[in-house]
Each structure stands twice: as structure tokens, then as C-alpha cells.
Amino acid sequence: MATNSSCPAEPHSERRHGRNRGPVQGLVRGTQRCAGGRRAGGRGGDPDPGLHVKRSDGRAAILVEETSPGTLGQLHLKNNGITYFALEDTSRPDTANSGRKWNFQNQNGTFRITTPPGGANSIEMILTPTGDMTISGDYFSNGGSPVPDYVFDDAYALRPLSEVASFIAANRHLPDVPSAAQIADTSHNLSRMQMTLLQKVEELTLYTLELEQARADQQAQIAELRALVLGLGQKTAK
């Protein structure tokens, strides 16, 4: 992090100043608040953070770089209670549910993403330590699994129900659908599974239409036979 030399360091701080001297070497402690390269601290009743970097030249950035392989935990936040960091877009209006500020929290052992003003209605996502996730809105996926409208193409090879029955008897699951053992071993793609289930619904629709057509044909044949029987009865009566 390059720091303008006009921003004096606090006691117990070690800094390297100037554009050509590379990143900060050492640890910054205490209160350090820089605005446009000059230190300012706690004026006008504003809270005075431990470190505040403020610029107007597009260079308000902090870089933490570790060049050795296998290093973990470059950014670690600790707090005796709810720990969170916030992302704030100051160009957006400072009103409730405007999307100006997003809070990323560790609250009571769960990871949460929330927005102001707070409260139950401001929780956008919850992730528990056991992997359960809850979101407050709808979930949209841009996955590449195709929508199976090809089922309704004339060239689609719909399995006969007798073949489906034989497959179920041998495998104990539907064709094209992974078995419980396969899902347990390799997990499954939710987007693909949704499209597979839709494929099965569309196939069921075709089976239902075929059965309905067969029923209509049977009713027509029954009506024709009934007419023949009535005709024969009338001739016999004469």
C-alpha cells in the first residue's frame, strides 16, 4: 500500500513512503486516518476508525500480498460477538432496501448476508455450519442445461411404457434419472436435475395424451358396436 509522505505515521507504525519504494513493510497500529494524502482524525463527531484510507484520485486501495505458496488467512476479522464487513456503494441513495450497503456477517455461528435497516426482513441469505442455505427471494440460474421441449418433436423416441416398466423393475429408478447411490457418490447438478424432471413431466404428458386417444378410440368402437347390436335387435324384432 503506497502512502503519501504528507500523511504522518502514528507511534508504533512502520511505513515506507513514496511511489517507488514498494508496498508497506511492517505493521500499522493505532489510529491512522488519511484523507487525500493528509491525516485527519475524528473531527466533527465522526467515529475515528483504526485505519481510514480516503482519496479522490482513484487510488484508495489496499493490497495484501503473500508470495510464498500454501499461505492461508491473509484477511482475518475477529470480534467478541457478531463479526462482519460491509460493501457500500456511496453513489446509491442511503435508503432502506436500496442495495447501497451489503453486510457479510458471522452471527451466532451462521454466515449471513444482510442489508440495512436490519431485522428479519433484511436477511438476504443464511448459511449454517451444516451446509443448509436459506435465501429470502427467488433463485435464478443461467446454467447450460437445455429446456427439454425436444420431447414434443415428432422425431423424439418416446419409450413404450412396457420398456419403462422393465427398466424400473431392473434398476429401481426412472430412465435418464440418476439413482440414489449415484447422487450419494457424486452429488448432482440441480439445474440439470430440474430439466430432467421437466423432461419426465413432458413424457408423462405424451403418455397421458396417448392413453386419452386410446380411450377415445375405444369409446368410438363401443358406440359403433352398440349401434350394430341395436340394428340387429330391430331386424330380429321384425
**For 8-43, how does the pLDDT look when each residue is reduced to its tens digit (9 = 90+)?**
444 333 344 434 444 444 444 444 444 444 444 444
Residue ranges of the chain with per-residue pLDDT less than 70: 1-47, 238
Question: Residue 198: enclosing H or E segment and its boundaries?
Answer: helix 190-237
3-state secondary structure 62-111: CCCCCCCCCCCCCCCCCCCCCEEEEEECCCCCCCCCCCCEEEEEEECCEE
Find, among 132, 84, 80, the residue nearest to 104 by Cα. Answer: 84
Query: What integer pLDDT is reported at residue 201 of this predicted model?
Result: 98
The DSSP symbol for 54 reads E
Query: What integer pLDDT is reported at residue 47 of this predicted model?
Result: 60
Coil/strand/helix, residue 226: helix
Q: Per the structure block, which three cell numbers stand in for 169?
A: 423393475
Query: What integer pLDDT is reported at residue 189 of this predicted model?
Result: 87
pTM (two decimals)? 0.62
Query: What integer pLDDT is reported at residue 53 of this predicted model?
Result: 86
Question: Residue 35: enclosing H or E segment and its boundaries?
Answer: strand 32-35
Coil/strand/helix, residue 189: coil
